[in-house]
Amino acid sequence: MKLIIKPEKGFGKIEVELDEDLVSEINRMSERYGVSPERIIEIALTGEFKKSSGELEELERKFGELEERTWELEKEYAPLRFKAYGVSEDNKVLAIELSGLIAENSQLRRFLGLRPERNLELRKLISYYLQG
């Protein structure tokens, strides 16, 4: 990788060839801290970085514990989410069947010369389950 450093004013520029190990380390640090590789290089060149005061290790440990707890909860609730998805799909099928039965009932009422029923609440309920 070629690094080109240009001054804010003037014409001089510095070109430096970086080896692959250094580039991979810069990219690793960039991903780890969520900063662009250019910013990592800038911090390294200007010396803006700070020494770790031990809080970082404590925070990383707490983060590890929270991540472990999150995965435990995920394992616990995954079967419930799957069952809820199954129930939701069953509700959609039932809403489709109910819609068909309502249409059939309406046709039969017309055939018999009766007034068709509107059932707005039932239609709202059907549309709710068909959307979800």
Provide the greatest CA pair distance for the chain. 94
Domain limits, the chain: 2-46, 56-131
> How does pLDDT run across 41-54, given as a tens digit for each residue?
877 777 766 666 67
Tell me the C-alpha to C-alpha distance, in Å, between residue 99 and each of 66, 89, 95, 114, 127: 47, 15, 6, 19, 9
The whole-chain average pLDDT of the chain stands at: 86
In this predicted model, what pLDDT tens digit does every residue of 89-113 receive, in sequence order?
999 999 999 999 999 999 999 999 9
pTM summary value: 0.47
